Amino acid sequence: MSKRTPVARTEQDDGDGPSEQPDSERADQPEESGVETGAEAVVAGLENAGVEYLFGVTGGAIMPVYDALYEHEELTHITMAHEQGAAHAADAYGIVSGRPGVCMATSGPGATNLVTGIADANMDSDPLVALTGQVPTGFVGNDAFQETDTIGVTRPITKYNIFADDEATVGTDIGTAWALANEGRQGPTLVDLPKDITQAETDQRPEEPSTPDTYDPPTTAEAVMIEAAAETLVDAERPLILAGGGVIKGEATEELATVAREFEVPVVTTMPGTGAFPQTDPLSQGIAGMHGTGYANMAISNCDVMLAVGTRFDDRLTGDIETFAPDAEIVHIDIDPAEISKNVEADYPLVGDAGVVLEQLLRAMPGRPAAEAWREQCRTWQEEYPLDYEAPADEPLKPQHIVERFDEATPADTIVAAGVGQHQMWAWQYWTFTEPRTWVTSHGLGTMGYAVPAAIGAKLAAPDREVVAFDGDGSFLMTAQELTVAAREELDLTIVVLNNEAVGMVRQWQDGFYGGRHMASEYPWAPQFDKVAEAFGAKGLRAEHYDDLEETIQEAREYDGPAVIDAAIDPTEDVYPMVPSGGDNARFALNAEQLEGL
Amino acid sequence: MSRGELPGPEPGERTHPEGRRNGQGIRIDPEAEAERSAERAVLSALVTHEPGVLAEISGLFSRRQFNIESLTVGPTVDDSLARMTIVIEEPRSGIDQAKKQLEKRVPVISVRELDDDAVQRELVIVKVNGDSPDQVNAITDMYDGQTLDAGPRTVTVEITGAQQKIDDAIDAYRQFGIRELVRTGHAAIARGEAPTAQVSEPNQAPTEAQVATEEVTDD
């Protein structure tokens, strides 16, 4: 079949307005001629950026770009079941690989279906490039078929977006979007590709990916401020490091560990910062926030100097801002000046690249803080408030137990994906994370349905590593159709549905704050997920009892392809510790009775 | 160990510092504490002159709930650039945050907060009932305005000046019955040698050195 099929042409000519069809003779020698259309310039732009995978769904306005991908072996297109899945898969690819994932969709509904995934990437500063088809420029603004103002819709949820209105520069636009997604504080970008532009003739090869001249992210912090911050840290009696997602995004985990160990400062991580510091390290003080560990939240509440790196002080971390680390002078390292003093005032703002600034700080430290008593106090809190659950053998499976057994069975570099809800919190709490880029979930936006497509993107980014996705029954039902992709692409991954036949986190809140009125939170009609998995071409398994759990885990791991375990968990189990929304971090509840007393 | 038998103290009995932060995340100094109140600031932003920038900036202000009093935009001597003048009313932390959020957007080249002594002008066009044309003219003269249109039933005038002058003039015209009025919003430029917002500025908060230089030039 030639590169441009007569079928494609007929479609393009069919009511799409002015179409400038190139001469057919080019099809004989595509390799020699290089770029000949806007669409080929787009593909060349992706190749320039070293893109390996595209996650997408085709459709009318994006067809010229898909057509230009025909017979392109360097770029592998993964056809997803739904555009939301494409965005999440690309997002997870970006988290695991550190380089922007790329998703594609057509105009109108294709673009709007990407929106959730783009917004998710925006909240979590995940590197993502979205390419959307658009109606021909002459039709824009006329409410044409499948027209949506994608630029307008995505402006508030992208780092930058570009309406590509010139075939001569459309390939370069791709490189600009890729570079902007990748550099500085990472985030999502979008290029909107009108069909007449991608169809138009051009022989302009795209320029190498680069950010605009006006984009100049800071690298090093001011020397004066570094010195002041270093002095404050050395004088601290109760110093604490708060490691956020920026430590991982900024590839600064080694520098962070050096600072922590050199000066013996305990380290707490945020949820996106999970994996920034090994949880097996004696200085690890655990995970903080609404469902963080009690000992991490006690350390946060009582520290006198906090070195916060790459965190935006989200409300799920801080709780009530008035009681957040109330005695602490805050040294805040962030590459985005707008994060400084946005939610919590920084006494020592250090704007720059996390790794670079941590090294500056390391060099400037005149000594180490005398904090032995504080470290002892931190260890005491670990003993006083360990993560804990009961698992009687004759009762239904406890989700925490399943997470722990999986963690024990798998290698340390296993990638854990999760959806959003109770299952996500159990996975976060009970897995021991020791490496960066192993915790892949939706943090800021809280997007249910993230896990299955994320597992797909994660596996393609790290094909030699194990991928385990924890999902809830509610979350799984939102994107389960992406199993078809995992089966088709023969991706060896395991999805564990912690099934309590409810939107459990909502139900937990209803029990805690709405008088136990379970409105729209219970799923007594849930399907059998193992059978759903089989129907999609995946391996389906059930876990209902403690005695055969290990066996089921092994069977799922050994299966060469996607396996889904429908795990019937104790439907009465809830997530603790819990700091109620807007509460004081030190007043976390360890059980329902304590929650009621708050 | 079961969850009911944890050794740690109950929520209300745990160690917790006495200090507090205020709602803006600032540690409270018990000596002198008050929530910082809103103040008015004039921001000048140099942006690339391309479609969508106005929507981007106005969207930014609306979605982050910054309270803006006026926003004007127009071309500059360089065709590829436009200048926005934004009057914002926020506590100091909100003004700083607005500046940083503006600077962060890719099409924004530089942002500067203008000093109080910056040259600020606004224009208003007022259409009043024409029953007492002489009295209308007297007020227009008093505010150095111009009559743009006069007919048997209406008189239309233009006044240019700082905000207070415009407000005063509008009050003075009320006695005749204002049929319609249009205000342009603020245009502002730094006084003397002081820069407004320039291309050469790095797209980030000014360093201490830059701030120091600026203060010197202001004198």
Give the model confidence (pLDDT) of A519-531 as tens digits.
Answer: 999 987 789 999 9
Same-domain status, B89 and B123: no
pLDDT given for residue A354 in this prediction:
98
> In chain B, which among 54-83 make CB contacts under 8 A with chain A?
55-56, 59-60, 63
Nearest chain B residue (CA) to A214: B109
Tell me the chain A residues in contact with residue B53 when contact means C-beta distances shorter than 8 Å. none
Please report, in angstroms and rounded to a whole number, the separation of the first and last CA atoms in chain B: 71
Order the strands of the A188-194 sheet from edge to edge. A76-79, A53-56, A101-105, A128-134, A188-194, A160-163
pLDDT in tens, A390-430: 999 999 999 999 999 999 999 999 999 999 999 999 999 99
Does residue B102 belong to any structural domain of this protein?
Answer: yes
In a domain, B209, yes or no: no
Q: Domain limits at B61? A: 35-113
Average pLDDT over residues A588-592: 95
* Smallest Cα distance from A462 to chain B, Å: 32
Mean pLDDT within A545-562: 97
Whether B23 is in a domain gets the answer no
Helix, strand and coil content of chain B, in percent to the nearest 5, comes to 30, 30, 40
* Domain's final residue, options B113, B133, B149: B113
Q: Within 13 A of A434's CA, how many CA atoms are on the CB side?
A: 11
List the single best residue of A134, A165, A321 to mutate versus B (max B Cβ within 10 A).
Answer: A321
Q: Is B152 on the interface with A (CB under 8 A)?
A: no
Q: Where in chain A is the domain with CATH 3.40.50.970?
A: 6-199, 399-576
pLDDT digits (tens, 9 = 90+) for B94-131: 999 999 999 999 999 999 999 989 999 999 999 999 99
Test A337 with B204 for CB contact under 8 angstroms: yes
pLDDT at B6: 64
At B28, the pLDDT band (50, 70, 90 cuts) reads confident
Residues B77 and B44 in one domain: yes
Rounded CA-CA distance B19/A303 in Å is 12
A159/B106 touch (CB, cutoff 8 Å), yes or no: yes
Q: Do both B143 and B91 map to the same domain?
A: no
pLDDT digits (tens, 9 = 90+) for A64-94: 999 999 978 889 999 999 999 999 999 999 9
- On whether any CB of chain A is under 8 Å from the CB of B14, the answer is yes
Cβ of A337 within 8 Å of Cβ of B103? The answer is yes
pLDDT reading at A480 higher than 60: yes
CB contact under 8 A, A326 and B27: yes
Helix (H, G, I), strand (E, B) or coil at A291: coil
Contact A327 B19 (CB under 8 A): yes
In a domain, B25, yes or no: no
Q: Which residues of B touch A384 (CB under 8 A)?
A: 6-9
Give tens-digit pLDDT for A195-242. 999 999 999 999 999 999 889 999 999 999 999 999 999 999 999 999
Give the model's pLDDT for residue B31. Answer: 61
pLDDT value at residue A19: 44
Is the Cβ pair A341, B96 closer than 8 Å?
yes
Considering only CB atoms, B56 lies closest to which of A155, A385, A587, namely A155
Do B148 and B173 share a domain, yes or no? yes
- Verify that B45 and B108 share a domain, yes or no: yes
Instruction: Clarify whether residues B104 and B171 are in a common domain.
Output: no
Q: Are strands A267-269 and A239-243 parallel, antiparallel or unpaired?
A: parallel
Q: Which residue has the tokens 């100097």?
A: A305
Last residue of a domain, one of B63, B78, B113: B113
The per-residue pLDDT for B17 is: 85
Domain A6-199 sits in CATH 3.40.50.970: yes
Contact A151 B52 (CB under 8 A): yes
Quote the tokens at residue A119: 């917004």
Question: A302 contacts in B (CB within 8 Å)?
Answer: 15-17
Tell me which amino acid residue A544 is. E
Strand order through the sheet with A563-568: A439-440, A415-418, A467-472, A494-499, A563-568, A539-543
What share of chain B in percent tops pLDDT 90? Answer: 68
Nearest CB partner across the interface for B63, out of A156, A326, A329: A156
Average pLDDT of chain A, as a whole number: 94
pLDDT digits (tens, 9 = 90+) for B139-181: 999 999 999 999 999 999 999 999 899 999 999 999 999 999 9
Cα nearest neighbour of B61 on chain A: A156
CA–CA min distance B42, chain A (Å): 19
Residue B6 lies in a domain: no
Residues B43, B108: one domain?
yes
Name the β-bridge partners of B82.
B47, B75
A151: nearest CA partner in chain B: B52
The pLDDT tens digits for A275-290 are 999 999 999 999 999 9
What CATH number should be reported for the domain holding residue B76? 3.30.70.260
**Which residue in B has a C-alpha nearest to residue A582's C-alpha?**
B23
Those of residues 26-45 in B touching chain A at CB distance below 8 A are 26-27
Whether residues B60 and B93 share a domain: the answer is yes
Q: Residue B24 has what pLDDT?
A: 84
pTM of the full predicted structure?
Answer: 0.91
Whole-angstrom Cα distance, residue A33 to residue A24? 13
Q: Which residue has the higher pLDDT, A194 or B15?
A: A194
| Residue A365 CB partners (closer than 8 Å, separation 6+) | A230, A233, A234, A262, A263
Query: Residue range B26-37: average pLDDT?
Result: 71
Contact B106 A214 (CB under 8 A): yes
Q: Is residue B82 part of a domain?
A: yes
pLDDT bracket for residue B35 (50, 70, 90): low
B134/chain A closest Cα distance in angstroms: 50
Full DSSP string of B156-206: EEEEEE-HHHHHHHHHHHGGG-EEEEEE---EEE--TT--SS-TTS-SSPP
Domain stop point among B58, B86, B113: B113
Which of B8, B21, B106 has its CB closest to that of A326? B21
> Once rounded to an integer, what is the mean pLDDT over residues B3-8?
64
Residue A379 token pair: 């260890």
Could A322 and B100 be called an inter-chain contact, meaning their C-beta atoms sit closer than 8 Å?
no
Can you name the residues that pair with B73 across neighbouring β-strands? B84
Our count of domains for chain B comes to 2
**Domain contains B80:** yes
Give the closest-approach CA distance of A406 to chain B in angstroms: 22
Q: Do A342 and B55 touch (CB under 8 A)?
A: no
CATH number, domain with residue B136: 3.30.70.1150
Q: By CA distance, what is B8's nearest residue in A?
A: A384
pLDDT at position B32, please? 59
Do B90 and B127 have their domain in common?
Answer: no
Report in angstroms the alpha-carbon separations of B37 from A16, A106, B113, B164.
56, 48, 18, 21
Q: How far apart are the C-alpha atoms of B15 and A220, rounded to whole Å?
A: 37
pLDDT for B218 equals 39
Q: Could you give the angle at which helices A422-430 and A399-409 cross, rounded to 10 degrees?
A: 50
In the structure encoding, which two tokens stand for residue A235, read together? 């004088």
**What is the band of A360 on the pLDDT scale with cuts at 50, 70, 90?**
very high
Choose among B184, B137, B178: nearest CA to B160: B184
Residue A329's contacts (CB-CB under 8 Å, 6 or more residues apart) are A232, A304, A305, A306, A347, A348, B27
Q: Is 50 exceeded by the pLDDT of residue A433?
A: yes
Domain with CATH 3.40.50.1220 in chain A: 223-384
Residue range A459-471: average pLDDT?
Answer: 98
B104 part of contact set with chain A, CB < 8 Å: yes
> What pLDDT score was predicted for residue A151?
97
CATH topology of domain A399-576: Rossmann fold (3.40.50)
A72 torsion bin: left (phi>0), alpha (psi -120 to 50), beta (else) = beta
Put simply, the chain B residues between 167 and 196 with a CB less than 8 A from any chain A CB are none
* Residue found by looking up tokens 């227009």 in the block: B140
Question: Which residues of A are known to be catalytic?
Answer: 83, 145-146, 195, 505
CB of A504 closer than 8 Å to CB of A425 = no
Looking at residues A349-376, what average pLDDT do you find? 97
Q: HSE (CB half, 13 Å, CA atoms) of A319?
A: 23
Distance (Å, rounded) from C-alpha A430 to C-alpha A293?
10
pLDDT the model gives residue B208: 40
Q: Are A193 and A133 in contact (CB under 8 A)?
A: yes
Q: Which CATH topology does A223-384 take?
A: Rossmann fold (3.40.50)
Interface test with A, best of B57, B100, B102, B211 (most A CBs within 10 A): B100
- For chain B, the C-alpha Rg in angstroms (whole number) is 25
- Record: contact A323-B20, CB cut-off 8 A: yes
Contacts of B60 in chain A (CB under 8 A): 156
Whether residue B108 is found in the same domain as residue B123:
no
Nearest by Cα to B217 from B192, B182, B183: B192
Nearest to A591 among B4, B103, B205 (CB): B4
Q: What confidence category does residue B30 fall into, taking pLDDT thresholds of 50, 70 and 90?
A: low
Residues of chain A contacting residue B81, judged by C-beta atoms under 8 Å apart: none
